Amino acid sequence: MRILLVEDTEGLGEVIQDQVADEGHAVDWVKCISQADSSLRTTDYDLILLDLMLPDGNGIDLLKKIRNLGETTPVIILTARDQISDRINGLNAGADDYLVKPFDLSELCARIAAVSRRYAGNPNPIIHLGALEVDMTKHLIFRDGITVNLTAREWALLEAFIQRPGTLLSKSQLEDHLYAFGSEIESNTIEVYISRLRKKLGKDQLETVRGLGYRMGYSGPQGR
Amino acid sequence: MRILLVEDTEGLGEVIQDQVADEGHAVDWVKCISQADSSLRTTDYDLILLDLMLPDGNGIDLLKKIRNLGETTPVIILTARDQISDRINGLNAGADDYLVKPFDLSELCARIAAVSRRYAGNPNPIIHLGALEVDMTKHLIFRDGITVNLTAREWALLEAFIQRPGTLLSKSQLEDHLYAFGSEIESNTIEVYISRLRKKLGKDQLETVRGLGYRMGYSGPQGR
DNA sequence: ATTCTATTTTCAGTTTATTGTCAGGAACTT
DNA sequence: AAGTTCCTGACAATAAACTGAAAATAGAAT
């Protein structure tokens, strides 16, 4: 379970980490100091914890921005006790829940667990490979957070590797994955597409095993 | 929260139960095969999910009956893909929202949450996409504040994208959304409507993924 | 019914991105 | 060094998508 924590004060992240990690979920949290940082890719997270006390603007605006993108990731608002109006605005802006500071950690964990249970049914399979993030269902790829556009063939090739991470795939296997039976290829098409993928995804992602084929996704013992 | 589910097919009830139950509301659903069954005491429920495909008559009539009794319980209509006119009639007859089958469960949950929130005195779900402002329930679109008029087909197409923001939709998926099963399309209708939508909504809204389909609502191109 | 209007669907010509191929060079193996 | 194997820029052929406009259809008004 990946949690995006948007706050400017410190410490909460570690605490959540410690508390929730033991419950079986992996907590992968990110601290964002500003709106600018966090407004990027909320799709990658299963839950957003949003502190309304951001230095550079109202957190409500950020929430609205997220919802306006059609994003349905659940959001729990963290708010100080004296900001009652903020809570109401937050819920109106599309928050799923809110907690008033200071709150009990067990309370927070309970809410997190509830949310994670609710969303366990439809996990969005997002694959992380180093700097790459691949959303298989939405057909989206990010490299260091930047969208990468792949053509149909390029995507198909990548797919072959993602389906068998760490497996060595020969060129003829890859051809079989890309082309229908009859249509035989008589040039170095695979090599060309490997090259194109490397250019778009980064050199390190695809490993060449001379004489045998290519491999992606595991270990990269590097360098030689 | 008590939900009255009026449908003749099976399965949806349990699913909704599972999905929504954890939100803290108690979901109390009832399956009704016929109008007769359901016309009973709608007052007892907080929300009505109405499938328009009832065996013994048009669900619209039921909705009208309910509204004529002065009943204000929110109603979400579930409608099959080929019944565009029904959707419009449904809204006119007093429905609060509607979903086209097949729909994402998360989408349904969001609408349920939205309706229940709205029912608590809050604003309706307006979706913002860049310069666009889409009021799903009122069937209104504004572009930079100016009203945009869409035809039935154009709206139906837009709907497909809004229901699954950021998702890549193939032309055949879009055809399935627009047309009943039997009626097959043998020309470039989808392309034509994409073109018309772009003209009305702005070029940037719909992204082409050559060879695969179209996408709306997420991420600028770039990269590449 | 008949006409009129708006929408839907089809068609065709144009534009654009992708694909597969090649060729020269780089890198590895022996 | 000689012989493979792989890499990658360039390019023509191809396939996909765009779009204006005509034809067909549906809907409303008379």
**CATH code, B138:** 1.10.10.10
Of A164 and B36, which is predicted with more confidence? A164
A87 contacts: CB under 8 Å, gap ≥ 6: A77, A79, A98, A100
If asked whether residues B72 and B24 sit together in one domain, one would say yes
| CA of residue B160 to C1' of nucleotide D14, angstroms | 31
Select from A129, A207, A220, A215 the least CA-distant residue to A174.
A215
Contact yes or no for A92 and B122 at CB 8 A: yes
Question: Is the residue at A33 inside a domain?
Answer: yes
**CATH code, A103:** 3.40.50.2300
If asked whether residues B132 and B108 sit together in one domain, one would say no
- Map residue A214 onto helix, strand or coil: strand
Q: With 50 as the cut, is the pLDDT of residue A221 above it?
A: no
| CA of residue A188 to C1' of nucleotide C24, angstroms | 14
Question: Is the residue at B154 inside a domain?
Answer: yes
* Helical ranges in chain A per DSSP H: 12-21, 35-38, 59-68, 84-92, 105-119, 152-163, 171-178, 189-201
Over residues B142-197, the pLDDT tens digits come to 988 888 988 888 988 998 888 777 888 889 888 877 876 556 677 899 999 999 99
Q: With 70 as the cut, is the pLDDT of residue A178 above it?
A: yes
Residue-level pLDDT at B222: 27
The half-sphere exposure of A94 on its side-chain side, counting CA atoms within 13 A, is 25
DSSP state of A58: -
Closest CA-bearing residue to C1' of C8: B153
Question: Is the residue at B58 inside a domain?
Answer: yes
Residue-level pLDDT at A110: 60
Q: How far is CA A117 from CA A4, A43, A77, B106, B129, in A?
A: 17, 18, 18, 13, 29
Residue-level pLDDT at A195: 96
Over residues A14-73, the pLDDT tens digits come to 666 665 555 555 555 666 655 555 444 566 676 788 777 655 556 777 777 666 555 667
Residue B142 with chain A: CB contacts under 8 Å: none
| Of residues A117, A137, A152, nearest to B212 (C-beta) | A152
If asked whether residues A6 and A110 sit together in one domain, one would say yes
Residue-level pLDDT at A222: 36
The nearest CA of chain A is from the CA of B141 a distance in Å of 14
Contact yes or no for A143 and B19 at CB 8 A: no
Question: Is the residue at A221 inside a domain?
Answer: no
Match 């007093």 to its residue by tokens.
Answer: B94
If asked whether residues A20 and A101 sit together in one domain, one would say yes
If asked whether residues B53 and B115 sit together in one domain, one would say yes
The half-sphere exposure of B190 on its side-chain side, counting CA atoms within 13 A, is 20
Average pLDDT over residues A185-193: 89
Stated as kind and residue range, the H or E segment containing B155 is helix B152-163
Q: Give the whole-angstrom CA distance, residue A98 versus residue A119.
A: 18
Give yes or no for a contact between B4 and B30, defined as CB atoms under 8 angstroms apart. Answer: yes
Select from B45, B130, B138 the least CA-distant residue to B95.
B138
Q: What is the mean pLDDT of chain A?
A: 72
Share of chain A above pLDDT 90, in %: 18
Match 């979903």 to its residue by tokens.
Answer: B99
Question: Is the residue at A142 inside a domain?
Answer: yes
Residue-level pLDDT at B135: 80
| CA of residue B151 to C1' of nucleotide D29, angstroms | 20
If asked whether residues B109 and B147 sit together in one domain, one would say no
Residue-level pLDDT at A19: 57
Select from B221, B167, B213 the least CA-distant residue to B194.
B213
Q: With 70 as the cut, is the pLDDT of residue A153 above it?
A: yes
DSSP state of A216: E
If asked whether residues A99 and A24 sit together in one domain, one would say yes
Most confident range, picked from A32-46, B36-50, B119-133, B205-219: B205-219
Indicate the range of A143-157, B13-27, B150-164 predicted with least confidence: B13-27
Residue-level pLDDT at A111: 63
Average pLDDT over residues A157-182: 84
CB neighbourhood size of B157 (10 A): 25
Over residues A93-119, the pLDDT tens digits come to 666 666 666 565 555 666 666 555 555
Interface test with A, best of B108, B167, B207 (most A CBs within 10 A): B167
If asked whether residues B8 and B109 sit together in one domain, one would say yes
Give yes or no for a contact between A43 and A71, defined as CB atoms under 8 angstroms apart. Answer: yes
Average pLDDT over residues B206-217: 91
Name residue B143's beta-bridge partners. Answer: B132, B146
If asked whether residues A6 and A104 sit together in one domain, one would say yes
Choose the final residue of a domain: A119, A139, A170. A119
Omega prior to A123 cis, within 30 of 0? no
Q: Are strands A97-101 and A75-80 parallel, antiparallel or unpaired?
A: parallel
Residue-level pLDDT at B159: 82
Choose the final residue of a domain: B119, B151, B182. B119
Q: How confident is the model at residue B38 (pLDDT cuts 50, 70, 90)?
A: very low
Q: Give the whole-angstrom CA distance, residue B175 versus residue B196.
A: 16
Contact yes or no for A152 and B210 at CB 8 A: yes
Q: Which residues span the domain enclosing A159?
A: 126-216
| CA of residue A210 to C1' of nucleotide D29, angstroms | 77
B96 touches strand C (CB under 7 A): no
Q: With 80 as the cut, is the pLDDT of residue A87 above it?
A: no
Select from A151, A118, A69 the least CA-distant residue to B167.
A69
The nearest CA of chain A is from the CA of B33 a distance in Å of 28
Spell out which residues of A between 5 and 34 contact strand C, using CB within 7 Å.
none
Select from B75, B126, B80 the least CA-distant residue to B100.
B80
A153 contacts: CB under 8 Å, gap ≥ 6: A178, A193, B211
Residue-level pLDDT at B166: 81
Question: Is the residue at A224 inside a domain?
Answer: no
Of A204 and B34, which is predicted with more confidence? A204
If asked whether residues A179 and A203 sit together in one domain, one would say yes
* Amino acid of residue B70: G
Provide the domain count of chain B.
Answer: 2
* Amino acid of residue B166: G
Stated length of chain A: 224
Spell out which residues of A between 179 and 218 contact strand C, using CB within 7 Å.
179, 185-189, 192, 210
Stated as kind and residue range, the H or E segment containing B68 is helix B59-68
Choose the final residue of a domain: B65, B94, B119. B119
Q: What angle do CA B210, B201, A43 make, to 5 degrees?
A: 60
If asked whether residues B40 and B95 sit together in one domain, one would say yes
Spell out which residues of B between 114 and 173 contact strand C, using CB within 7 Å.
149, 151-154
Residue-level pLDDT at A8: 64
| CA of residue B1 to C1' of nucleotide D12, angstroms | 65
Question: Is the residue at B160 inside a domain?
Answer: yes
Give yes or no for a contact between A16 and A29, defined as CB atoms under 8 angstroms apart. Answer: yes
Contact yes or no for B166 and A70 at CB 8 A: yes
Average pLDDT over residues A123-144: 80
Of B93 and A92, which is predicted with more confidence? B93
Q: Are strands A140-143 and A146-148 parallel, antiparallel or unpaired?
A: antiparallel
The nearest CA of chain A is from the CA of B205 a distance in Å of 12
Question: Is the residue at A31 inside a domain?
Answer: yes
| Of residues A67, A139, A148, nearest to B224 (C-beta) | A148
Q: Which token pair is B96?
A: 């609060």
If asked whether residues A113 and A138 sit together in one domain, one would say no
